[in-house]
Amino acid sequence: MIQKFWWKILAFFLLLYTCIYGFFVKVPRLDDRMKETIRNMFFHVPMWFGMMILLTVSLIYAIKFLKNPTLKNDAYSTAFAATGIIYGVLGLITGAIWANYQWGMPWSGDPKQNGAAIAILIYMAYFVLRGSMNDEDKKARISAVYNIFAFFMLFPTLWILPRLTESLHPGGQGSEGNPGINGKDMDMHMRSVFYPAVIGWTLLGVWITSLRFRYILLADQTNNA
């Protein structure tokens, strides 16, 4: 699939649809503060969905690398982690902008915000770790092991801890489901934009990732030639 081009065009049209219809689709009025900003669901939330998918793929290639240590598996794993972090950082920034108008300040120490920041810092350490080693084999092996560790820190910080306490994000306290979004607040009209948005943004992430690992593989071939 990665060599074909149809999914790149699909990504473009899904995002075109999101960026046009996302502004016109009828959205529910939840409270007087939310107003039109609920449309951020089409832009802010897909960043987190995309990050989760990209980092999961990164984990799969890290495990594949440990079973079969090839440069390709390492390049895939690193590239997916890098794009995943970019999406996470964009998610934090867009979240802070939205929070400034919804909750009164950009950073209110919400458990979900803190958890996401910690998770991203843990993943940034992945690149610090890689940069600190010169031996290519050692670098790839240690970073693959660290990648698995980092992924299993994502779960408590994003999915478990924010559910255990009061959170400004919808959900929280474990009873209402996902602490990131409250599915009940989205009606059918919103869903018809939200799911294409998630797929579109994720595909764009995969495309950018593919550029990165192709560059890594090319650079390796040039260095060895």
Partner 1 sequence: MNNFKKSLTTFLSLFIILSVDAQEATNADIMRSNGKIYVVVAIIVTILTGLFLYVASIDRKLTRLEKEQIKK
Q: Name the residues that contact partner 1, by CB under 8 A.
A: 8, 12, 15-16, 19-20, 23-24, 204, 207-208, 210-211, 214-215, 218, 221-222, 225
Nearer to partner 1, 97 or 133 (CB): 97
**Those residues with Cβ within 8 angstroms of residue 9's Cβ, 6 or more apart along the chain or in another chain:** none
16 or 164: CB nearest partner 1: 16
Measured from the CB atom, the residue of 164 and 218 that comes closer to partner 1 is 218
CB of 5 to partner 1, least distance (A): 8
CB of residue 69 to partner 1, shortest distance in Å: 22
Q: How far is the CB of 1 from partner 1 (least distance, A)?
A: 15
Shortest Å distance, C-beta 137 to partner 1: 23
| Sequential DSSP letters for the chain | -TT-SHHHHHHHHHHHHHHHHTTTS------TTTGGGGGGGGTHHHHHHHHHHHHHHHHHHHHHHHHS--HHHHHHHHHHHHHHHHHHHHHHHHHHHHHHHHTSSS----HHHHHHHHHHHHHHHHHHHHHT---HHHHHHHHHHHHHHHHHHHIIIIIIHHHHS--SSSS-TTTSS-SS--GGG--HHHHHHHHHHHHHHHHHHHHHHHHHHHHHHHHHHHHH-
| Residue 88 CB, nearest approach to partner 1 (Å) | 19
- Of the pair 8, 189, the CB lying nearest partner 1 is at 8
What angle, 0 to 180 degrees and rounded to 10, lies between the N-to-C axes of helices 71-102 and 111-131?
150
Nearer to partner 1, 155 or 215 (CB): 215
Shortest Å, Cβ 21 to partner 1? 9
Gap between the Cα atoms of 13 and 100, Å rounded: 31
Nearer to partner 1, 107 or 207 (CB): 207
